[in-house]
Amino acid sequence: MQTLLNADLQAIALMHADEQPWIKSPQAGVERCQLFRVGAEQARATSLVRYSAGSAFTPHVHSGGEEFLVLSGVFEDEWGSYPAGSYVRNPPGSQHTPGSPAGCIIFVKLRQFHPEDDQRVVAQLPAQGSTLLFKNAHEHVHLHDISPAMALDLHNDQGLELFVLDGTLRGDDFELRPWSWMRLPPATPLHVVAGEAGAKVWVKAAPLDLGF
């Protein structure tokens, strides 16, 4: 059965993961916290995925690509082990058998790559400081490390997504906390101010509607 969650790409979307339920996946020991979803089991989706110790998915192909951040624990597949703080991009057509011997939680985006994006990326988030994680002709992805009470102002020509890793961010009429996710449609600029402990936030600027 098809699921539609935050499917209107012209609307602002805001989800606090700590307020959302964990939903069992078809694979034993793997649960999802859904943030955005269009489709059935093979969906365009943005989610948190929680692997219990020893759980794994069967081998599968990511026809539209897979992008993830490891939030806790260690995520593994036949290509390597990815501890907390790992940022990974698996391009369209890639295949793996993911799992976690000790358990983990990841933030993951599925089937949201541009069809011409064929680059695999494995990077580690820095302990301190902002950094560019990925950039090509279609999108760019940053980690912003924002000092207490400092502002983050971003233009938005094509679409923005944010996922807060640590700290808080306040806008005119909203607040983001750890594991909050926000999506802004094109021409909606971002203005937020970090709280007293600062903030670390993953930010993607990319077209929201890829036409597939």
CA–CA dist 148, 211 (Å, integer): 39
Residues sharing a CB contact under 8 Å with residue 8, sequence separation 6 or more, in sequence order: none
- Burial of 89 from C-beta contacts in 10 A (0-12 / 13-18 / 19+): buried
Same domain, 22 and 109: yes
pLDDT at 3: 83
- Output the pTM of the full model: 0.95
Question: Same structural domain for residues 15 and 102?
Answer: yes
Same domain, 143 and 61: no
Q: d(Cα 188, Cα 201) in Å, to the nearest integer?
A: 18
Q: Please give the mean pLDDT across all residues of the chain.
A: 94
Q: What is the pLDDT of residues 141-190, one digit of tens each?
A: 999 999 999 999 999 999 999 999 999 999 999 999 999 999 999 999 99
Round to whole Å and give the CA distance between 59 and 128. Answer: 35
What region, left, alpha or beta, does residue 9 occupy, with left being phi > 0 and alpha being psi -120 to 50 degrees? alpha
Is residue 44 located within the same domain as residue 141? no
- 161: containing domain: 126-205
Compute the distance between CA of residue 182 and CA of residue 184 in angstroms, rounded to an integer. 7
Sign of CA dihedral 80, 41, 33, 64: positive
- Cα angle 189, 164, 207 (rounded to 5 degrees) comes to 45
Are 177 and 110 in a shared domain? no
Decide if 127 contacts 141 (C-beta within 8 A). no
Length of the chain: 212
Do 146 and 173 lie in one domain? The reply is: yes
51 shares its domain with 145: no
Among candidate residues 69, 89, 123, the one where a domain is terminated: 123
Ramachandran category for residue 172: left, alpha or beta (phi over 0 → left; psi -120 to 50 → alpha): alpha
> What are the DSSP E strand ranges found in 23-65?
23-24, 30-39, 43-51, 55-56, 60-62
76 in a structural domain: yes
CATH label of the domain that carries residue 56: 2.60.120.10
The answer to whether residue 178 is domain-embedded is yes
Same domain, 111 and 134: no
Residue 211 lies in a domain: no
Q: Please indicate, yes or no, whether residues 44 and 148 belong to a single structural domain of this protein.
A: no
107 and 13 in a single domain? The answer is yes
pLDDT digits (tens, 9 = 90+) for 7-60: 999 999 999 999 999 999 999 999 999 999 997 777 889 999 999 999 998 888
- Which residue, 97, 123, 149, sits at the end of a domain? 123
Q: Are both 25 and 95 inside the same structural domain?
A: yes
3-state secondary structure of 109: strand
Give the residues across from 38 on adjacent strands: 4, 44
In a domain, 158, yes or no: yes
Of 123, 150, 179, which marks where a domain is finished? Answer: 123
Q: β-strands 86-90, 121-124: how paired?
A: antiparallel
For residues 87 and 135, membership in a common domain is answered with no
**Number of domains present in the structure of the chain:** 2
pLDDT at 2: 67
